[in-house]
Amino acid sequence: MSTEQIVGRFAPSPTGPLHFGSLVAAVGSYCLARRNGGTWLLRMEDLDPPRVVPGAADGILFALENLGLHWDGEIVWQSQRTEAYIEAVERLRQKGLVFDCVCTRKEILLSAPHPGEEGPIYPGTCRSGPGAGQRPRALRIEVPQEQVSFCDGVFGPFQQVLSDSVGDFVLRRADGLFAYQLAVVVDDAAVGINQVVRGSDLLTSTPRQIFLCASLDYTIPEYIHLPMVLERDGKKVSKRHGSALLDYKSDAGKLIALALSFLGQIVPNSLLGAPPLELLPWAIENFDSQRIPVALEGIVASHLPL
């Protein structure tokens, strides 16, 4: 095992209250970072103003404080990181990897040979430059026809050929906003994150992020994806449903114990009613990533107060 100090993070999007799925990511990333005396940083992913819900960031901070999940250093707000994203895009442009794209979503849909994992695969129309007089919309990165592989800390080996699965993907959207894929890589690298722990809904985004890391000459972090929390109907738990009942003030210890159990950890009976101050030191000391269930489809949290 490497002796490098772990620098982990939690990166919630303030699009609603902290639901149980995000709580699992917070507890998992916290324990895995703190386990070996590492650092745990917090980043608010308020990158997309139309999706940001007023008051949601404060609600998340209130929840984390009540849960005793204290972060190190200053909170990074993506809305204040535009300069860094511009600079990263400039570096990629100098490497000849980015191009302006004039295609509308409809045009891409019509010309796409087959849909990718997240919508149609971009067919490369504007790779050699948009036609004269056409107004550029999005900025894309050209992906190679090579396989990107990594070994996830829970799900094991994972591969993707970006050109087959997603195609040339967007770095800056037609509305001028930077894409999540770029922002996450630039922000993680800026503070030296070397361990990314998050929900497995982002497993298929990871090859794009590894490709961006490599293209920007960043060190590629370790990735640990946690099983997704599903509602009783099998749908991913969302900020709109099921979160209203979580009472971070009175139930903090109980919620942490539930998150730990969801992650396969065996919380001793004596700690089941304990407050975070007693439970978290045990969790940091005893968290065992081998116990995290390998459930790619997610796990229905039927015993949870959702």
Q: Build a one-symbol-per-residue string for 222-261: x at contacts with ligand GLU by CB under 6 A, - elsewhere.
A: ----------------------------------------
Out of 45, 46, 142, 231, name the contact with ligand GLU by CB under 6 A.
45
Residue with tokens 């250093």: 73
For 175, residues 6+ apart whose C-beta sits below 8 A from its C-beta are: none
Residue 181 binds ligand GLU (CB under 6 A): no
Residue with tokens 């109980």: 254
Which residue's CB is nearer to ligand GLU, number 186 or number 260?
A: 186
From 295, 95, 98, select the one nearest 181 (Cα to Cα): 98
Cβ-closest position to ligand GLU:
198
Cα–Cα distance between 305 and 295 in angstroms, integer?
Answer: 21
Cα–Cα distance between 240 and 231 in angstroms, integer?
Answer: 12
Side chain identity at residue 22, one-letter code = S
CA angle, residues 61, 65, 69, in degrees to nearest 5: 105
Stretch that binds ligand GLU, among 7-15, 140-148, 270-278, 297-305 (CB under 6 A): 7-15
Residue 140 binds ligand GLU (CB under 6 A): no
For 133, residues 6+ apart whose C-beta sits below 8 A from its C-beta are: none
C-alpha distance from residue 182 to each of 143, 148, 179 (Å): 14, 17, 6
Q: What's the closest the beta carbon of residue 280 comes to ligand GLU, in angstroms?
A: 21
Residue 184 binds ligand GLU (CB under 6 A): yes
Residue with tokens 């772990």: 6
Out of 13, 163, 165, 181, name the contact with ligand GLU by CB under 6 A.
13
Residue 11 binds ligand GLU (CB under 6 A): yes
Q: What's the closest the beta carbon of residue 134 comes to ligand GLU, in angstroms?
A: 33
Out of 19, 137, 140, 198, name the contact with ligand GLU by CB under 6 A.
198
Which residue's CB is nearer to ligand GLU, number 45 or number 142?
A: 45
Contacting positions for ligand GLU (CB under 6 A): 11-13, 45, 184, 198, 202
